[in-house]
A and B are shown apart, each in its own frame.
Chain A
Amino acid sequence: MKTHTSPQPLVWRLLRAHISPLQLAAYTLANLVGIFIILLAFQLYRDLSPLLTQPDGIFSPQYLILNKHLTASDALGLGSDPTFSQDEIDDLRRQPFTLRIAPFTASRYDVTCTLSGQGLPPISTDMFFESVPDSFIDTDLTRWHFDPRQPVVPIILPRSYLTLYNFGFAQTHALPKVSENLATMINLNITLRGNHRQETLQGRVVGFTTRLNTILVPDDFIQWSNQRYTQDTDTPRPTRLILQTDNPADPQLAQYLDLHHYETADETATTSRAILILRLLTTLVIAVGTIVSLLSIYLLILSIHLLIQKNTQKIQTLRLLGHTARSLARPYQTLVILLNILVLILALALLISLRSHLLHQLQPLFPQTAPRSLLPTILLALLITLILTYINIRQIKNKIH
């Protein structure tokens, strides 16, 4: 003979009749897909947008690098002079958008750089140096100076060089990839030749920039080395200028540059376009996720509606026997709460695993960034689950009375 079991199972045995596992599975799957899409879009937006908006670390976006527009005839030495005259510089200085302006100073001797260390093959290349006044550099200036008594040359490289190495060279030559951190630890031997001297100094990469395609060294090093390795005392006219402006998007500035055929690395515009596209895509994806989620809610609402409809007779009898509406609604509510928690856990698990996979893929592209926290996404997931569950619970409550 059956003895004591709690009252709930008996009631549940009655109420669970007509529950369709298929409908519940369909709801779980649809809801999982919907929530997963929303969370993924949200998290990826959070992960990717700082990569695009991230300050360069070397140059603030207020700094523009100007050079003259080069044409084919310039290359043949027939066209206009690619250097800036003092008048041109002075004219720029007088413009209302200019806060400060300074020319780039180039090295006037031969430089050969040899790379050595940590499992890398010896790589040697000719190169050149340029400098701008230290006040234009947004980096830790304690590392950005040159002392002839301890000759180590701090160097800022274009980030594209590293990317070129990692994805072009290292990939095809089966060499290890180099992160930015690792790059700052590699020793560079820099051989300087000129004025009947040849000396080798230590070089050290201190940072990377995306704003400038040159190899940057401290101004005091350029002054010192140009004196030491050249006899020529004239400074040649600069080909590039660095300009600080309070508003890089100033139309006056754009007009002036157009008029004088000056070019600027159009970094900010590209970035803002990329951000806009990213935002648009994210919105679109979140909208799709929301629609899928709403459809899944609708599916659950229909399923519950049907279920309760099919069990109306029993629910009515149980109500007449004195079972409260709340106690009869509770098993259904528990069911949707459990389902929604299951969906929450699955969605987060999927998100976390897919994201770590994506981050792994993206890491070499943006080695300098730490991944953003998952917490806001988890909170968003909780919020969605809470809202969903609230809607479900209300609906069940309204159906059983």
Chain B
Amino acid sequence: MSILTAEQQEIKKAAKEFVAKYIIPNAAEYDRRGEFHPFLLEAAKESKIFTMAIPKKYGGVGYDALTQAVVVEEWGYGCAGMGTTLAAGVLGMDSLLIAGTEEQKQRYFEPILKGGLAAFALTEPGAGSDAASVQTMAVRSGDDYVLNGTKCFITNGGYASGYVILAKTDPSKGVKGISAFMVEKGRPGFTIGAAEHKLGIRSSNTVELLLKDVHVPASNLLGKEGDGMKIAMMTLDMGRTLIAALALGVAQRALDECVKYLKERFPGKLQPGQTLQFKLADMQIQVEAARQMLHYTMNLRDSGLPYSKESAITKTVCGDVAMSVTTQAVSLMGSYGYTSEIAKLMRDAKIMQVYEGTNQIQRLVISRAVLSPAPAQAAGKKAA
């Protein structure tokens, strides 16, 4: 399951090196300033990380889901803020993988291959957990659609070259009246609004998007009119697993820092007593169990099997574990934890329970699956 192939080991090692070189030395500073990190995009471009989700035939490195999880966990280990920037870029590409035509894929992968970012814009001030109540409108006008509305809390919004934007094409059809559009940066009427000052992932760019009579050609529509929510849900199924990987990285980092601190603090003969040892053991149990769930989910994804329920479980457990382990780490590390980067880990972890669908929404998905389970898949399709 999570036993990696030689190639995956190599990729993991390269990811660790990238993080050690570019992310870890800069994380605290950018968090303190709450500023975006363009230098990271330059570095990532070189290592082709942006192309992780883009299949080889389009020029990307086309990592499978498990490999993506391994890489994204390393990003989270280094810095959840910078990791979110990179992971959200991958998420933006996922919608194209799900619903893009050949032409659209070529068109929108191109700037990413050159080191650009993508953004996925669903959330609005009135549409958070109630994602289906988006108010942004897309009205057909000749060969164009005209978009009007406001999106908020959009990751990478200020720096993306391409945006997946969910808008209503037919108000009378409710959820089935929502469509997904690719919108390029710089279209007239499309402006970037205020940036959020956040508790954590402070170097990640989180902004409002303002659309006023933005014209996009009909060829920017992903799939058909009315496919929007289906595309969004499938995109989120993928995105949730990547967020889970980030969360896992944060948790592992907190655990490692805690172990390092306690070993230094109790050198030689003074060992931490059983109470502390068992707290560490509990943290390790949580992190390992979360990782296995994530890797299993990625196996399902790679095998082409349904994985919505598992994705929800994974996102929930990894997010909750990150929150629990970082909180415990701060507590065990006392004032040192409270005045150091360990505190940042705790601040960063909180969002893992909220974005990509709150852990309450995840529980709705899971409980529905538990109460009305989907029919079992044919055994032959199961991965080894």
Q: Do A and B bind each other?
A: no
Which residues of B does A touch, CB under 8 Å? none
Which residues of A does B touch, CB under 8 Å? none
